[in-house]
Amino acid sequence: MTKHIAQADLANMDNRRRVNFINSLSGYKSANLIGTSSRKNEDNLAIVSSVVHLGANPPLIGFIMRPDSVERHTLENIEETGVYTINHVSQSIVKAAHQTAARYDRKVSEFEATGLTPDRCNGFHAPFVKESPLSMGVKLVEITNITHNGTDFVIGEIQWIQTDEEAIQEDGFIDLSTLETVAVSGLDSYHSASRLFRLSYAKPDKALEEIPLKGADTYDE
């Protein structure tokens, strides 16, 4: 039976129930770890589920930081150093990744606390997660405050990417299923991805076709 939930119903929900409910509405999201380090070289790692693609040229990517009702070491480090990494969460590191959400003291590295390994790429200040199947180094472009709820939208430009060469298809598509990248729904439900198919470029006068995984003339006019 279909249930209709009005705004007044949301307002009257128990706070924890409302948080879980609203966080589930956006569906499956990517699970990523943001790696940062302070000027004092104190490494930090935090899981986020809000990473979004913003553009390919220049290669921009963004994510949301929650309001500063608590210390936000990740954002502070990004503001200090201007760089960070984004690391896919794979099936083998889900529990360790989820644990990074705990409120550790500033001097405690989530890498050490969760058993994940910090690594560096060609002198890039921010650490990436060695166990992650896909990592990228990002340079801060801007931080936009969303005044309505106090969150911040962090926008960065990708500087480098590190992943398994075999996952990159001929047309540039990355086969995330081979990397065992996971998705998250709500705040704490993790899912493995199962691909249905790839579809041809949508045109008003041409029927859609399934295309090979490797890609084939996907963007032909």
pLDDT digits (tens, 9 = 90+) for 129-167: 999 999 999 999 999 999 999 999 999 999 999 999 999
The mean pLDDT of the chain is 93
Rounded to whole angstroms, the Cα distance separating 159 from 8 reads: 45
In eight-state DSSP terms, residue 166 is: G
Query: Model pTM?
Result: 0.92
∠ CA 199-134-68 to the nearest 5 degrees? 105
pLDDT digits (tens, 9 = 90+) for 56-95: 999 999 999 987 656 689 999 999 999 999 999 999 999 9
